[in-house]
Structure 1
Amino acid sequence: MTAIAPSQAELAVLKHLWTAGPQSAREVQDGIAAATGWSYSTTRTLLARMTEKGLVARQDVHGLSVFEARVEKVTLMGRLIRDFAANVLDMDGPLPATTFAGSRLFSEEEAQALTALLEMSDETGKGEGQ
């Protein structure tokens, strides 16, 4: 997984791709336009930058570019939560993840995996998918 943290805009695209699966730029645009207000060209530019960063993979299928999330949802979210806890809240060590169990972003299995990831100590968690 890339060590580059996604921006809020990139995270919106990733969340869409995690839910919808591989899609063309137009499909991504159609899926996020109401929430973001972005133009099609903005979405295309963002997808190109995300491809360069390694956040998404681009594959040509029958002459159409199809984009897919290249970062695993639970691993990325675990890293972002750990970074927030360490850098903003000055917390070290295991993190209780029960707060995230009700999130619409995660299935029950993903919530359990996130909980297991966050309950590991910082020393144990380093290097896990990073």
Structure 2
Amino acid sequence: MLIPSTTELSLLKCLWKAHPLSAREIHERVAEELAWSYSSTRKTLERMLEKQMVRQHSVHGVHVYEATLEKVATLAAFAHDFGRRVMEMDGPLPVSMFTGSKLVDKGELAQLEDMLQDWPAEDE
């Protein structure tokens, strides 16, 4: 599973909440969080296109973007990687750490828990 960088994850979260969005709309929604230029947003979107994390199409002559990575699976991979690499945990992260998240609803939280509990032992 492809694990996005933290900046890529910021753009994906934006697209999971609303889509399709133009590069300008994405930039306006993440500008405060990332504190970077519009050209940095565009460059990151180009890299994400190359990695097939997003797709681009044209609406009324404006390029718009949509996430191609599924939200819950991506969050599970990100959380698993964080638990393993950063926290040096062998087992799954407790799903309770995601309670209260504005990013996932109850159904997605249950799906996330299942994915983390059933993560393959050997993922390399």
TM superposition score normalised by structure 2:
0.86
CA distance in 1, matches of 2:46, 2:70: 19
Tell me how many residue pairs correspond in the alignment.
123
Match of 2:50 in 1: 52
Match of 1:120 in 2: 118
Q: Which amino acid aligns with 1:85?
A: G
Are the counterparts in 2 of residues 23 and 66 from structure 1 also a CA contact under 8 Å?
A: yes
Change (3 A) 1:42 1:120: same
CA distance in 2, matches of 1:13, 1:87: 23
Are the counterparts in 2 of residues 94 and 122 from structure 1 also a CA contact under 8 Å?
A: no
CA distance in 1, matches of 2:84, 2:27: 34
Change (3 A) 1:40 1:90: closer
Change (3 A) 1:44 1:94: closer
Gaps of 5+ in 1: none
Q: Deviations over 1:34-60 (max 9, x none)?
A: 222222211111111111111111112
Q: Which amino acid aligns with 2:32?
A: A
Gaps of 5+ in 2: none
Structure 1 residue 74 and structure 2 residue 67: aligned?
no
Match of 1:101 in 2: 99
TM superposition score normalised by structure 1:
0.83
Match of 2:61 in 1: 63
